[in-house]
Amino acid sequence: MSDFLKKVDWFSILLYALLVFIGWLNIYSASFTGELGSVLNAETYYGKQLVFIIVSCVLIVLILSVEAKFYERFSSIIYLVSLLSLLGLYVFGKNVNGATSWYAIGGMTLQPSEFAKAATALALAKFLSDIQTDIQNPKDLFRAFIIISLPALLIIPQPDPGSALVYAAFFFVLYREGLHPMYLLVGLFVVVLFVSTLLYGTIWVFLGCALLLGLVYYFSKKKKKKVSIPQLTIILIIATAFSYSVNFIYNSVFEQRHRDRFSLWLRLEDDPLKLNQIRKTIGYNTYQSESAIGSGGFMGKGFLEGTRTKGNFVPEQHTDYIFSTVGEEWGFVGTSAVILLFSMLILRLLFLAERQKSAFSRIYGYSVASIIFFHFAINVGMVIGLLPTVGIPLPFFSYGGSGLLGFTVLLFIFLKLDANRINEWM
Amino acid sequence: MRKLLLASIIIIIAIVYIGRLSYLQLLDNTNKNPLNDTAINAVYDYPERGHIYDRNGELLVANQPSYDVMVIPREVKPLDTLEFCALLNITKEEFEKKYKKARIYSPRLPSVFVPQLSKKEYAILQEKMRKYEGFYIQKRSLRHYMTHVGANVLGYISEVNNRDLKKYSYYQSGELIGRQGVEEEYENVLRGRKGVKFIQKDRFNRVIGPYKDGVFDTLPVPGKDIVLTLDNELQKYGEKLMIHKRGGIVALDPKTGEILALVSAPSYDPDLLVGRKRSKNYTELYYDSIAKPLYDRGLNAMYPPGSPFKTVNALIGLQEGVIDESTTFTCYHGYRYGRNSFMGCHCPSGTRNNLRRGIEASCNAYFANTYRRIIEKYPTSAEGMNAWEKHVESFGLGNYLGYDLPTGQSGKIPDADYYNSVYGERRWFATNTLSNAIGQGEVLSTPIQLANLTATIANRGYYYTPHIIKEIENDTIPNKFLEKHQTTIDTKNFEPVVQGMYDVYNKGTASLLRIPGINIAGKTGTAENFTKIEGERVQLTDHSIFVAFAPVEDPKIAIAVFVENGYWGSRWAGRIASLMIEKYVKGEITRTDMENYLLKGSLEEEYAKPLSGESFRINDGKTFVKWPEKEVIKQPTKKPLP
């Protein structure tokens, strides 16, 4: 055991503990009503969150004490159980705020999608690390896609598209394990096409693509690589067709609220009055959260001194918008510190993943880093108004038992694997 | 390469996010000010505005409570609308309109439902208010006028407009600010400083508690009381004498420069601009473009000063040594100064006048000679003109006097530069500017400047800047009002001029206006004036002007009176000046004959002439003015509705 304590990555644990602690402080502030009571008061968010933190500690001990091989061996079963739990929601699920994403057990609720991420990561790691699997082989690649998308497909109709979006994080893992860069390029191209169609319209997208492909043809000819004109023409036609269908989908399939989110994000509305109107209605959350963060200034207003936090101006401030509390009360110092802590943790996990001797541990570690990064980037991007509104929590920070426990499990399975890396040779 | 992709994206995202945060939190300042914070409300505590007293300690302006009926639409329960409307004296339609307006503004926030109830209305409503949930009464402080005169001096208060909000950061929308008169001039003294409490609100605008336990809160500083130099009795009397006349009276205490009375006629009761009726009354006053009751004639009206200005030329002549007490000029029923130039005078041809006699008879020829000698004493007309101008300006003419009331005009005294630009350099001579000798032509002054000139003569050589402020509670009045302004004229030169003005009263043009027991020195004047009818310049009856001071041996009051279209000086203005002096010096009126003449006399007929649309006679019928014969576009007559 003392051997284990020496090998486990204390740096990651320290970062984890810091994030959880700072997160709890901010939940305390965001849900503080002015009456000083016991911090364990189960009536309040901060009281409940403290209970979840204690449960997490117990869970950490459990995870770390299980034999490392267990996770690899039982990954398929864990994955299946996880899928079943997601399926079961359609029968036993409890509807909260319009989404059937929870099981109600006693007074507690449990959100299986928070744990499915870890299960999917285990299954994917198991599959990709198999000596027989070749990611360059389309058949295997297809299987990997299935593993990733099954839980996502079960989550989307709950409906919880935000949580499903997180599964896109696994593309980083596939790429790391040898996915052809073309897939990423195509993915990037699709996103760029989508956004630029909304911004500039199909005609400009067509002209832009033609110019780009013309340049590709010119340079490929110089380097004497073969790119035929018909190929490029087909790409151009597909791109234009896609751009056209984006217009159609945006105007006919999307609902007004979706359109509003995009027009807010991309500033599609030219009329400043209308834009301001959207900012204060559809964009109310973002508007309030930006104002709260902005009002923090350099040093912030101080713990429990955030006026907008106290006045509950930012909706969902203890969950998805918890970062705005950091912004208001701790200022630029606090926000950049949190961003640095997250970046350090994710980079540390990448470093740990790369030093793994076994492919399973490496792939799993990479998945953990990717998932945490995805959550962090999308959540903070949304709160500071850089990305459209997507309802996913900030790992370790946001209020919520399932979220905290899910991320704890995700992270500590990897830390256990990492602590065990030498033993693998024995 | 594959290993580095995610790591680089992480680093890029971290940099981008910190960049965005430094914009939001460090560069963009819109959210930093606690007053802009939607979560913090500033609640103001307004101190009582200072009271205003007259020089004898009579309270002129105090405060009165006023009651606004407020409504919070969300808290309104079904009510007996008819009874409520009857109590508030509004119709049911008005009720619905007001209620809708309040609802649109905010269902949660209070809005004014019916503003400024009278005490009587409040008394009736107060008992029944508890029946109407969601409505309540809020107390405000309004001005309460104990006097009905001096509106032009006192000014009024009204809500700040957008221009004020931009100009002064102190005010918030809906607050009150002084306008015109002392309310505007001494706004900062009278208003005090409002206190502020910062209150923390939640997103429904409900109060959570004080912001930061009130460390930023301040207590209100009460407004200071002020005492004016105005004599309310004299002011009242002056306004009474000016009924049915247009014009102004300015009375000064020459020893201090204190303004004893500042009458502008027609005027209005200051009480008209208080409370619910303020806006309606103000509009009426504002759009009266004929009588212009809001126009302070005592301060703003610029006229050629006419004969009273001759005294200045006499003084300059004495100072420059071009005449002395015994210098005589012969008047040829006027003064010829060029082949075709002749300045008429009413003296019989061949009259020989010395200085005293010249002033007493207001002889144009005498002052034309004097003026010409002054200008021609110097090698060039330009130098002479500038020397003359410097003397005149030392009397406070030709520039703003610097008194403490917010409106005024500079008047005008021409100098060499002015004539250079009109005639060209070295192309003009004393004769071109000769009308300056008798206060006509390019010379313009306001009644308060004339009063100040009179005070200067009364003092034999100096004046204090006229001012309306006598005392400020726990403070001193501005130093500039305690500063003596010395003229360029030696004291000894004043005596002959004072003697001349004394003769005006005792032998000359104003000998009928004598007040028993008081030695008065004065000077009559008339000013030609013109108006435009249908775009054509048309002469109207002369303005009646009079300046005087008394008692001659120890002056207590210096006064300038002008009455629009009153014809000659002693007819209206002189009588008014005499009575004002008697009122102030004696405290009672013995010349009741003169008083009756004034109280009964009216110039309304005179004022109606240029509006009549017909030809008319001016100056007691001596001059005939033909109505400009131009086609008058007939207004299409409205058909009566069936």
- Provide the pairing of β-strand A99-105 with A94-96: antiparallel
Looking at the fold, whether B297 and B185 belong to one and the same domain comes out as no
- Reported as a pLDDT band with limits 50, 70 and 90, residue A43 is confident
Quote the CA–CA distance of B323 and B320 in Å, as a whole number. 8
- Whether residue B535 has pLDDT greater than 80: no
Which residues of chain A are within 8 Å of residue B3 when distances are taken between CB atoms? 176, 354
**Using the beta-carbon criterion (under 8 Å), do B14 and A343 form an inter-chain contact?**
yes
pLDDT of B101 strictly over 60: yes
What is the arrangement of strands in the sheet containing B207-210, beginning at the earlier edge strand?
B40-45, B195-201, B207-210
Q: Residues B304, B441: contact at Cβ < 8 Å?
A: yes
Return the closest-CA partner of residue B110 out of B207, B28, B249.
Answer: B207
Judgement on whether residues B455 and B570 belong to the same structural domain of the protein: yes
Does the distance separating the beta carbons of A290 and B201 come in below 8 Å?
no
Task: Say whether pLDDT at A426 is over 60.
Answer: no
Q: Please identify, among B140, B166, B190, the residue that sits at the C-terminal boundary of a domain.
A: B140
- Comparing A86-100, A222-236, A259-273, which segment has the lowest mean pLDDT? A259-273
Q: Per residue in B379-415, pLDDT tens?
A: 888 899 999 999 999 999 988 888 999 888 888 898 8
The distance from CA B106 to its chain's CA centroid, rounded to whole angstroms, is 41
- Indicate whether B11 belongs to any domain: no
In degrees rounded to 5, what are phi and psi of residue B349?
A: -60, 135
* Edge-to-edge strand ranges of the sheet holding A108-110: A94-96, A99-105, A108-110
pLDDT reading at B642 higher than 50: no
DSSP helix/strand/coil, B412: strand
Name the residue with tokens 């405290």. Answer: B587
Tell me, what's the pLDDT at B630?
Answer: 52
Which pLDDT score is estimated for A368?
96
**Partners of B67 in the β-ladder:** B117, B139
- Encode pLDDT of A27-40 as tens digits: 998 888 766 666 66
- Comparing CB atoms, the residue among B16, B32, B200 nearest residue A295 is B32
8 Å CB contact between A101 and A89 = yes
Which one of A325-334, B103-112, B513-522 scores highest in mean pLDDT? A325-334
Interface test with A, best of B1, B18, B21, B29 (most A CBs within 10 A): B21
The pLDDT confidence band at residue A227, using thresholds 50, 70 and 90, is: confident
d(CA A116, CA A110): 12
| Structure confidence by residue, pLDDT tens digits, B5-32 | 899 999 999 999 999 999 988 887 766 6
The H helix count followed by the E strand count for chain A is: 19, 3
Are B2 and A175 a contacting pair at CB < 8 A?
yes
**Is B636's pLDDT higher than 80?**
no
Mean pLDDT comparison of A81-85, B112-116, B283-287, highest-scoring range: A81-85
A195: tokens are 């956004």
CB-based contact B39 A172, cutoff 8 Å: no
The pLDDT, as a whole number, for residue B581 is: 93
pLDDT above 70 covers what percent of chain A?
Answer: 93
Phi-psi region of B212 (alpha: psi -120 to 50; beta: other; left: phi over 0): left
Taking the Cβ of residue B79 and every Cβ of chain A, the question of whether any pair is shorter than 8 Å is answered with: no
Chain A residues with beta carbon closer than 8 angstroms to that of B10: 343, 346-347, 350, 373
In a shared domain, residues B519 and B538: yes
Q: What's residue A35's pLDDT?
A: 64
- Residue of A388 and B257 predicted with greater confidence: B257
Is residue B180 over pLDDT 80? yes
Minimum CA–CA partner of B19 in chain A: A336
Residues A88, A94: Cα–Cα separation, whole Å:
11
pLDDT of residue B29: 73
Task: Quick: pLDDT tens for B579-628.
Answer: 999 999 988 888 888 888 888 888 888 888 777 777 777 777 777 777 66
Q: Which residue's structure tokens are 């905010």?
A: B106
Tell me what pLDDT residue A31 has.
85
**Mean of pLDDT over chain A:** 87
What mean pLDDT is reported for chain B? 85
Minimal CA separation from B101 to chain A, in Å = 21
Q: How confident is the model at residue B304 (pLDDT cuts 50, 70, 90)?
A: confident
Mutate to test the interface with B, among A343, A349, A362 (most CBs of B within 10 A): A343
Say how many CB pairs under 8 Å bridge A and B.
111
Phi, psi of B3 (to 5 degrees): -70, -25
User: Is the separation of the CB atoms in A11 and A384 below 8 Å?
Assistant: no
* B395, B518: one domain: yes
Within this chain, do residues B111 and B157 fall inside the same structural domain, yes or no? no
B4 in a structural domain = no
Q: Identify the bridge partners of residue B471 per DSSP, sorted by sequence position.
A: B227
Residue of A nearest to B22 (CA): A332
- Asked if B193 and B341 sit in the same domain, the reply is no
Rg of chain A, C-alpha, whole Å:
23
Residue B8 lies inside a defined structural domain of this protein: no
| pLDDT digit string, tens, across residues A191-213 | 888 888 888 888 888 888 889 88
All structural domains of chain A with their residue ranges: 2-179+280-421, 186-279
* Residue B237 within any structural domain of the chain: no
Residue B108 scores a pLDDT above 80: no
For residue A70, what are the CA distances in angstroms to A73, A126, A413, B264?
A: 5, 12, 10, 103
Query: Same domain, yes or no, for B103 and B131?
Result: yes
Q: How far is A287 from chain B (nearest CA, A)?
A: 11
Q: A276, A295, A383: which to substitute to probe chain B, counting the most B Cβ within 10 Å?
A: A295
With beta carbons under 8 A apart, name residues in chain A contacting B2: 175-176, 178
pTM of the complete model:
0.64
Average pLDDT over residues A126-138: 90
Amino acid at B398: G
pLDDT tens-place string over residues A15-25: 999 999 999 99
Eight-class DSSP state of B430: G
Whether B38 sits inside 8 A of A370 (CB atoms) is no
Count of helix runs (H) and strand runs (E) in chain B: 21, 24
Q: Residue B537 — φ and ψ, nearest 5°?
A: -75, 125
Task: Taking residues B555-573, report their average pLDDT.
Answer: 88
Domain boundary among B140, B164, B191: B140
Which pairs from B609-616 meet CB under 8 Å and 24+ separation? B609/B540, B610/B531, B610/B533, B610/B538, B610/B540, B611/B290
- The alpha carbon of residue A296 is apart from the nearest alpha carbon of chain B, in Å, by 6
What pLDDT digit, counting tens, does each position of A353-403 carry? 999 989 999 999 999 999 999 999 999 999 998 888 888 999 999 998 899
Position B3 pLDDT exceeds 50:
yes
CATH of the domain at B404: 3.40.710.10
Q: Tell which of B140, B171, B203 closes a domain.
A: B140
- Residues B303-316: what's their mean pLDDT? 90
Query: Chain B partners of A384 at a C-beta cutoff of 8 Å?
Result: 17, 20-21, 24
Contact A332 B14 (CB under 8 A): no
Contact A313 B203 (CB under 8 A): yes
pLDDT at position A416 is 93
The backbone torsions φ and ψ at residue B549, rounded to the nearest 5 degrees and listed phi first, read -145, 160
Domain presence at residue B638: no
Q: A301-348: per-residue pLDDT in tens? A: 888 878 777 777 787 888 889 999 999 999 999 999 999 999 999 999
Does B331 fall in a domain? yes
Q: Which residue has the higher pLDDT, B568 or B248?
A: B248
Residue of A nearest to B7 (CA): A347
Residues B585 and B613 in one domain: yes
pLDDT at B182: 92
Residues 6+ apart with CB under 8 A from B532: B538
Q: For residue B449, name the pLDDT band (cuts at 50, 70, 90).
A: very high
Digit-coded pLDDT (tens) for B119-132: 788 888 888 888 88
For residue B243, give the nearest of B596, B592, B507, B554 by alpha carbon.
B596
User: What are the chain B neighbours of A340 within 8 Å (beta carbons)?
Assistant: 14
Q: Looking at residue B632, what is its pLDDT?
A: 47
Strand pairing partners for B303? B445
Cβ atoms B454, B560 nearer than 8 A: yes
Q: Is there a domain that residue B482 lies in? A: yes
Contact B26 A291 (CB under 8 A): no
Q: Are residues B186 and B330 in the same domain?
A: no
Residue B231 lies in a domain: no
Q: Residue A264 pLDDT more than 80?
A: no
Q: Looking at the structure, do residues B277 and B341 belong to the same domain, yes or no?
A: yes
Domain that holds residue B202: 40-58+147-226
Domain count of chain B?
3
A314 to chain B: closest CA residue: B203
